[in-house]
Amino acid sequence: MLDNRKKEHQTGTEVAGNATSILVAIASYGRGQDHYLERLLTEFRNCRMRVRTVVLTNEPKPLTGAEVRVGLPSPSSYSLPFAHKKLFAENIDNYDLFIYTEDDTLITEKHIEAFLDAQQLLQDDEIPGFIRSERNADGYQFITSMHQHFHWVPESAVQRGGEVFASLSNQHSGCFMVTRKQLRKAINSGGFLVPPHSERYGMLETAASDLYTQCGLRRLVCVSKIHDFIVAHLPNKYNHYMGIPVEELDLQVQALCDLARRGGWKGSMFEPDSGARQFRWSCDLYAQRDDQILKAVPSTAQTVLSVGCGSGRNEAALFRSGVRLTALPFNAVFDKVLRDRGVRTCLGPFPQSLDELHVERFDVILLCDALHLVDNPALWLQRLAIHLKPDGCVIASVPNTGDIIEWVKDWRQGRRRALLGARTGTEVHGVNQHRLRAWCLSAGFDRVKITPVVEGLKRRKWGRGALKALMASRFILTASRGKSK
Write out the H or E segment, with its range, that includes residue 258. helix 246-262
Strand order in the sheet with 67-70: 67-70, 50-57, 21-27, 97-102, 175-179
Domains of the chain plus CATH, in order, are 2-262 (3.90.550), 277-480 (3.40.50.150)
Reduced 3-state DSSP string for 195-215: CCCCCCCCHHHHHHHHHHHCC
What is the predicted pLDDT for the residue at 466? 58
What is the predicted pLDDT for the residue at 303? 98
Q: Which residues contact 172 (CB under 8 A, 6 or more apart)?
A: 145, 201, 205, 208, 209
What is the predicted pLDDT for the residue at 345? 96
- What is the distance between the alpha carbons of residues 277 and 426, in angstroms, rounded to a whole number? 12
What is the predicted pLDDT for the residue at 456? 63
What is the predicted pLDDT for the residue at 407? 63
The residue type of 96 is D
φ, ψ at 331 (rounded to 5°): -160, -175
**Residue among 299, 338, 340, 339 at smallest CA distance from 322:** 299
What is the predicted pLDDT for the residue at 279? 87
239, 139 contact by CB (below 8 A): no
Helix (H, G, I), strand (E, B) or coil at 3: helix
What is the predicted pLDDT for the residue at 69? 98
The CA-CA-CA angle for residues 478, 439, 445, to 5°, reads 50
Gyration radius (Cα) of the chain, Å: 25
User: How high does pLDDT run on average in the chain?
Assistant: 90
Q: Which residues contact 46 (CB under 8 A, 6 or more apart)?
A: 109
**Residue among 239, 232, 236, 237 at smallest CA distance from 40:** 232
Instruction: Give exposure, 259-279, as e/b (b: 16+ Cβ within 10 Å).
Output: bbeeeebbebbbbbbbbbeeb
What is the predicted pLDDT for the residue at 405? 67
Tell me the sheet residues that pair with 485.
Answer: none
What is the predicted pLDDT for the residue at 13? 40
φ, ψ at 284 (rounded to 5°): -80, 105
What is the predicted pLDDT for the residue at 280? 86
Q: Which residues of the chain have pLDDT under 70?
A: 1-19, 404-426, 456-468, 483-485
Note the pTM of the prediction, 2 decimals: 0.90
